[in-house]
Amino acid sequence: MICSLSLFITYVDATILNVALPTIQRQFHASIASLQWVADGYLLVLACLLMASGSTADRIGRRKVFATGLVVFSIGSLLCSVAPSISWLIAFRMLQAVGGCMLAPVSLSIVRQVFTDPKERVRALGVWSGIFGLGVACGPIAGGLLVTAVGWRSVFWVNVPIGVVASVLARRFVPESRAPRARRVDVPGQLLVVVLLGCLTLGVIEGPELGWGSTWIVAPFVIAALSAVALALVEPRRREPLIELRFFRSPPFSVANAVAVLSYVVLSGFLFVNTLYLQEARGDSPLVAGVSVLPATATIAASSLLSGRLVARFGVRLPFVAGGLSFAAGSALLLDLRPATPYAVLVASYALLGFGLGLINPPITNTAVTGMPPAQAGVASAIASTARQVGSVLGVAVMGSMVTGAVAGSATALGSGRRLDPAGAAVLTTATHLPWEVAVASGLICAAAAMRWTGRRGHEAAARVYVDEIPVPFS
């Protein structure tokens, strides 16, 4: 229950904030780029530190790191609720993420450690996984209610009492545990990942406003590219690297991570861009906007449960292919979006999107560990989890920047503190078409890659790649 509480507040936080973004924008007269940083500042820290937090917990104690994460997450949430400016809000969101990165991977390790009976462990992991759907489904409606009734700051208040209570309970009831042999901290790899993702995100978000040819944009992209090259050179020489690059020689592993990135690009991009569309272009209230996306969030929760049964009976290929085609079809319904598009069309689109994304998420980890020796499965799973977060970062950055670039120089009132007039609403709606094209392409790529490499051919290729022990030339 304690681990589930921690997951619940992080998943709710991921969706509850999106509903509040247009209100935050009007209060602080913020640009779309600033809103991207509010969302992506959190996701960026999570993506950078997720794997490091898991190995740190294995080394110094899982309960200690888990309880500390709850406290830091709660403090960050409280500070977010009193942020005096958009810049402070972004900074506090990043602090909140430092706590958040200690929760999901560590809570999973705790569940595996506490429940030693295989049947009890399966049930516990089922509850733990089901919290994802519940949190995603509750977030938009809770956010709409809170923003409408109290104000945007209240969306952060809900995390504080839950986080504090969960922290106290964790210290009292969760047994301390450590890994028999914890992985070493890969400092060079960690620093290179931070520089790579940070510079890439900076360039993508700020490019539309500063100009793609600006020195302030070209320089981060160059640094990101150099960091990627350095990562490729350094990591194979580490005895216990942060990222096991050799894993990518396995087609199922590569496909799983590609699908994780693409599907979460669509999920996070959809939540961000669609919120702007509903509240700015259609003029919906936060509550109506939260209720409007219920077909997406509810079907994510439902199809996540269905996906597990499909994997058990038919393998991972069916949910992967069906999921990719489903969210591609849902995105295709938005390609001709207008400010007055009937809600029936939106409901159909959101339901297809949510159904597809829910189908795809559960088998990602299963596919990533296909053909892996048992000793390597944990690291492979952690990389797949990080790929999800990288996709979330890129979704907000890339799709948000597509909208920013399309409305740049127009007569829209975005960031002025006023609601859009009909002309501005039309410009903003047209600007969302390119992100939906990206979503369609992402779904088709996921389906095609899964069709080719997640069946018997992928298993055979993975078996040829791996042995239990692979010598590493340098420590």
- Residue 96 tokens, joined: 């909140």
**Alpha-carbon gap, residue 99 to 94, rounded angstroms:** 9
DSSP sequence for 161-203: HHHHHHHHHHHHHSPP---SSPPPP-HHHHHHHHHHHHHHHHH
On whether both 70 and 89 belong to a single domain, the answer is: yes
On whether both 80 and 203 belong to a single domain, the answer is: no
- Quick: pLDDT tens for 287-344: 999 999 999 999 988 888 888 788 888 888 999 999 999 999 999 999 999 999 999 9
What is the pTM (predicted TM-score) of this model?
A: 0.90
Which amino acid is present at 341?
T
Q: Which domain does 225 fall in, by range?
A: 187-241
Task: Provide long-range contacts, Cβ within 8 A and 24+ apart, for 212-219.
Answer: none
The SS3 call for residue 282 is: coil
Residue 422: count other Cβ atoms within 10 Å of its Cβ: 11
- What's the confidence (pLDDT) of residue 469? 42
**Alpha-carbon gap, residue 172 to 165, rounded angstroms:** 11
The residue assigned the tokens 């779904």 is: 443
- What's the confidence (pLDDT) of residue 411? 47
Query: What's the whole-number average pLDDT of the chain?
Result: 85
207, 217, 407 from 214: Cα distances, Å: 8, 5, 19
CATH number, domain with residue 360: 1.20.1250.20
Please check whether residue 84 is in contact with residue 47, taking contact to mean a CB–CB distance below 8 angstroms: no
- Quick: pLDDT tens for 217-272: 999 999 999 999 999 999 998 888 888 888 888 888 899 999 999 999 999 999 99
The SS3 call for residue 101 is: coil
- What's the confidence (pLDDT) of residue 471? 38
- Residue 305 tokens, joined: 């449960």
- What's the confidence (pLDDT) of residue 125? 58
On whether both 285 and 370 belong to a single domain, the answer is: yes
On whether both 358 and 452 belong to a single domain, the answer is: yes
Please check whether residue 311 is in contact with residue 363, taking contact to mean a CB–CB distance below 8 angstroms: yes
Average pLDDT over residues 7-24: 85
- What's the confidence (pLDDT) of residue 34? 93
The SS3 call for residue 321 is: helix
Please check whether residue 343 is in contact with residue 369, taking contact to mean a CB–CB distance below 8 angstroms: no
- How many structural domains comprise the chain? 3
Please report whether residue 182 resides in a domain.
Answer: no
- Quick: pLDDT tens for 42-72: 999 999 998 888 788 878 888 888 889 999 9
**Alpha-carbon gap, residue 436 to 81, rounded angstroms:** 32
Residue 350 burial (CB < 10 Å; 0-12/13-18/19+)? buried
- Residue 402 tokens, joined: 């597509």
On whether both 273 and 148 belong to a single domain, the answer is: no
- What's the confidence (pLDDT) of residue 344? 95
Q: In this model, does residue 4 exceed pLDDT 80?
A: no
On whether both 250 and 233 belong to a single domain, the answer is: no
On whether both 254 and 360 belong to a single domain, the answer is: yes
On whether both 259 and 398 belong to a single domain, the answer is: yes
On whether both 158 and 209 belong to a single domain, the answer is: no
- Quick: pLDDT tens for 156-178: 998 899 888 888 888 888 788 77
Q: Which of 150, 173, 196 is the last residue of a domain?
A: 173
Please report whether residue 474 resides in a domain.
Answer: no
CA 334, 339, 341 angle in degrees (round to 5)?
55
**Alpha-carbon gap, residue 299 to 351, rounded angstroms:** 6
**Alpha-carbon gap, residue 404 to 293, rounded angstroms:** 22
Please check whether residue 315 is in contact with residue 455, taking contact to mean a CB–CB distance below 8 angstroms: yes
